Structure formats: C-alpha cells, structure tokens
Structure 1
C-alpha cells in the first residue's frame, strides 16, 4: 500500500484554557488540564507527524481558526456528536485506508499506527481498545458502499467499543494492545508515574 493512500487522522480540540478536557479539569484544574492537552498533542505530532508511511490530517475543533496547526493537513470536525464528526471527517478524506486516534492517549507509538494499517489488509476494521471500554484508535479499510460504524454508539461509556464492533455486523476486526485514555485525575497521575 502506497504511503500517499494511507490517512492518519488525529482528532483534537484546540488546546485553550477552560475549553475541552472538562472531566480532567474537574479533577486537576483548568491550568493542569491545558498543560496536559498541549503536552499530549505535541507528543503525538512529534511521534507520528512526519512519517512517510501515511499522510497526517488534523481533525480539529473548533472549526476556526486553523492557524495553530503547524503539522498535517487541517480538516474541521464540524458539529454533532462524536459519531457524526467521525463520519464527516472519514467521508471527506481521499480514497484509502484511514486510522483515527484521539489526543487523549499520548502513549501511542509509530509502531502502533503501522500495526493498525497492516491489520487493515485482512480486516475491515482495527481497534485500539481503551481500558475504560472505549477505544483510542479505530482504523477502517473503507470499501466503496460500506457504511461507517458510528451510528447509535454510546460514546463516553464502557459500551463504546462493543457498540462500534456490533455496527460492523460480523466483519473481521483486529484488536491492538490496550491503552489508557487520560481523561481524569487518576489516569493523569498514572501517566506521569509511567514516565518516571
């Protein structure tokens, strides 16, 4: 598969004081939540942003301004719930397999993303399961006419992964290693402790 046909999308909210990371901010305060958001996004871009194996897209919220994006091609998420925004972004990309990840899991490596793209050869979808029942990554092979699996998913619950897999109606899927999203105080402390 040629690199130009592979699309890596990082879903991110513009790091801004008092915006985004609300569950984390409730535990650690707005300043620490902003500090983590900036750190996590910078780490992901530094790790994944300039790899010739894929083209990087930055799916951002709010939709404007976009001038803070320095690496990758910006694409607005638009309105709606996470499923609507994921569908809109994935449908807007040129043909080829797509891997989408959020900016809450700064531990994602280049090898994780390469494994995800490799898994899309024999599988329709690949997931990076999160310890809370959601997922830190989804990859889709994207064959013409196949519906996207984001309708009716109970986002931000322990059922998000199961709901998305069920929407694939028995298609072959692959699971990568489990990782933890950093979205509250305890998970942030575990993340910082793991870096010591």
Structure 2
C-alpha cells in the first residue's frame, strides 16, 4: 500500500502562518491557512492510499480530533524538520509501505495529478521531488529510506532543495522532478501565487 504523509497544524488563531500574519494579521493568516488545509484535503481525497497526518500539536478538543477523518493521526516528534520527516518515513516503511510521499499544507497549486504522477514515478525512480519556488520543496517521495536526505540541511532556507539534490546525486539515485510550485509562507509568496495563477485565495483579504 502506498502511503501519503501530511505535516499539518490545527487551524488556531495566532498559531499558524506567523510570518504571513506579520502583514495580514492573525485572522487573515488563519483564513489563508484554512483555505490551504481545505485545498490539501480536496486534492488528496481521491487517492487510494494510506493517509497519515502528522500534527504539530495534540488535539485539545473533540472538534480538533475530528479534523482529519480517515487519516491515521500521529504527533510530530521532537527535533528539527529533518528529524521529524525521517521519523515519519521510518514509520511508514515499518508498516511495509511500497512508496511514500510527504507533503505539507502550504501549496495551493498542488493537484491530485501531481500526487498521482509522483506515486507512479516511484515505480521506476528512487526519489521524487516537488521543487518549491522558495528554494525548498513541497513534496518528497521515496521507495526506501535514505537518511542522508534529512541530515545536514539548513531547514526553511533557500538552500534546502540544492542540498537535497546534491545528496541525491551523491547517492546515485534515480530522480523524478515535478513542476515547480509556490509555497505560501509570506505575503510576498501569496502575492506571487495570486498574480501567477489569476486566483484569490481569500476574497477580500488585503495583502501588503
């Protein structure tokens, strides 16, 4: 069974999209995050795969506990982002997953077709990468664990993609890359995506 892993947070005021909130306010950032969550769930829904949501915090109410029906809910472990992702992949492979993808909830351009392409590519490639416009990546997939991909990275910086690609080359792995997409972390990201897509994520939201 293929596995899809999602890293997410509960949509709570003041606890999501803090860099975006610096310019659009906490309520605006929460509205954006809720739209991104809804989009992520929608594009994932048609996939016949095992779905695990790795949450940054434990649910504090029945409403939060019911936010991800049909998903295996787990808590992200301690450590940096690389450590968290490595543990998530280890858990999936321990359940005998044949192909494993990990995504976040920041990419409004992600489609079901991208995810389907990634799973299909893992039949003939060792690694799949979805490059993000900020120099990171919005998707990573593999057929077995390669711990090097999660180590020695300056996470949340513009060098992550280049560092990961260097590891893939050094390991002589067969790589399939998806189209570059825009993650939404700042108002500049949101502006860039809305201009390039011709869409508005949250109608009426003033983006500085």
Q: Scaled by the length of structure 1, what TM-score is found?
A: 0.89
> What are structure 2's unaligned runs of at least 5 residues?
201-208
- The correspondence for 1:70, drawn from 68, 83, 105, is 68
Find the aligned partners of 1:165 and 1:20 in 2 and give their Cα distance: 29
1:136 aligns to 2:138 (yes or no): yes
Count of equivalent residues? 189
- Deviation, 1:148, is 5.1
1:88 aligns to 2:92 (yes or no): no
Q: Give 1:34-183 correspondences, 5 Å limit.
A: 34-52=30-48, 54-65=49-60, 67-71=65-69, 72-93=71-92, 94-95=95-96, 96-142=98-144, 146-147=146-147, 149-168=149-168, 169=170, 170-183=172-185
**Residue 11 of structure 1: aligned partner:** 7
Bigger radius of gyration: 2
- Deviation, 1:190, is 3.5
RMSD: 1.7
Show structure 1 runs of 4+ deviating over 3 A: 63-66, 190-193
SS at match of 1:161: helix
Preserved contact between residue 126 and residue 173 of structure 2 (Cα < 8 Å): yes
Alpha-carbon displacement from aligned partner over 1:50-105 (angstroms, at most 9, x marks no partner): 422x2221111113446143332212112111001101111112222111111010
Q: Scaled by the length of structure 2, what TM-score is found?
A: 0.84
Preserved contact between residue 40 and residue 103 of structure 1 (Cα < 8 Å): yes
Q: Which moved more, 1:57-66 or 1:70-79?
A: 57-66
Normalized per residue, the structure richer in helix is: 2
Preserved contact between residue 102 and residue 136 of structure 1 (Cα < 8 Å): yes
Find the aligned partners of 1:85 and 1:91 in 2 and give their Cα distance: 10
